[in-house]
Structure 1
Amino acid sequence: MPKSRSVDPGELRAAVAAVAPWLDGRGDEPARDDLATAVRLSLRTLAGVAPGRSVEMRVPPYAAVQCVAGPRHTRGTPPNVVETDARTWLELATGRLEWTEAVESGRVDVSGARAAEVAHRLPVVRV
């Protein structure tokens, strides 16, 4: 998916709706393609609402985006990184999980002084 292409809100809602039963504990883990699409579109949405290159938001193995205005990095590991799994990211992205709860429980790894700024842009979609 090209980074510069904006995310269609309907496409994002449909992708997240496809995995919503799983997020709500009412279904089996979704197909990898469905999960990947929901993660990638929601991350691209985050990058759109928090443009910049000072924080890298990672959801391995699906995607990573740079976001949040401020000093940018160009080489090596960025100084501000947020990393989590797909389920936790989608729970954060949809407002099902609060940032502080995710960080305190160890479901989200946060490093760098600016990384927590991602929390100010959540949720990115509601379904």
Structure 2
Amino acid sequence: MPAIKEKDLERGRRDFLRCQEALQHLALRTSDNSALTGLTGPADPADPDFLPRPVLAMAVRYSLNVLERAVPGPSTELRVPPFAAVKLFPGPDSDPHNLTPPDVLEMDYWTWLRLACGITTWQQEKDAGNVAPVGERDEQVGRLVPLLV
């Protein structure tokens, strides 16, 4: 199942760019970008409505779709709950008994958006414990961010 419907691609692109702009603005206000990597809730605790949830959801779905189109395949699953998951990279398929690919990466949506928008690096997020890889492909995903949309 695709991360986003075809009819929603333009809205997703707009929402992704909106998130990117908002996160860049927040990063400029934060002298130490490492402070951003610890966030799991609203990106700015002083502003609980930093971005509406539907905008965040569409931005995540769109960005995962961009990644899925760039490196399709069955061997790695990238999960960004609660919004979407995609399968990436050629290679071995899921175990037929549990349908889980050999490699699984999971992260919260703030972490994914920071990475996809180029606010933080893969290594910063790994060092902060925000990326939970299972398998060997996490570094391959890390080389694909930030996304160019």
TM-score of the two chains, using structure 2 as the length reference = 0.71
How far apart, in 2, do the equivalents of 1:20 and 1:94 lie? 5
- Deviates further, 68-77 or 41-50: 68-77
How far apart, in 2, do the equivalents of 1:19 and 1:86 lie? 11
Gaps of 5+ in 1: none
How far apart, in 2, do the equivalents of 1:121 and 1:18 lie? 20
Match of 1:101 in 2: 124
Match of 1:81 in 2: 104
Give CA-to-partner distance per residue, 1:28-81, whole Å, 9 cap, x none: 421111100000000011111111111100000000000112111154232211
Q: CA deviation at 1:13?
A: 4.0
Give CA-to-partner distance per residue, 1:74-102, whole Å, 9 cap, x none: 54232211111111101111211111111
Gaps of 5+ in 2: 30-46
1:57 aligns with 2:78: yes
Match of 2:16 in 1: 16
Q: Name the SS of the counterpart of 2:72 in structure 1.
A: coil
Q: CA deviation at 1:11?
A: 4.9
How far apart, in 1, do the equivalents of 2:115 and 2:92 lie? 25
TM-score of the two chains, using structure 1 as the length reference = 0.82
Alignment CA distance shift 1:81-1:2 (3 Å): closer
Q: Which amino acid aligns with 2:70?
A: V
The one of 103, 118, 123 equivalent to 2:141 is: 118
How far apart, in 2, do the equivalents of 1:2 and 1:89 lie? 18
- Assess if the C-alpha contact under 8 Å between 1:55 and 1:68 holds in 2: yes
> What percentage of aligned pairs have identical amino acids?
38
Q: Max radius of gyration: which structure?
A: 2
The one of 58, 61, 84 equivalent to 1:40 is: 61
- RMSD in angstroms over aligned alpha carbons? 2.6
Q: CA deviation at 1:114?
A: 2.1
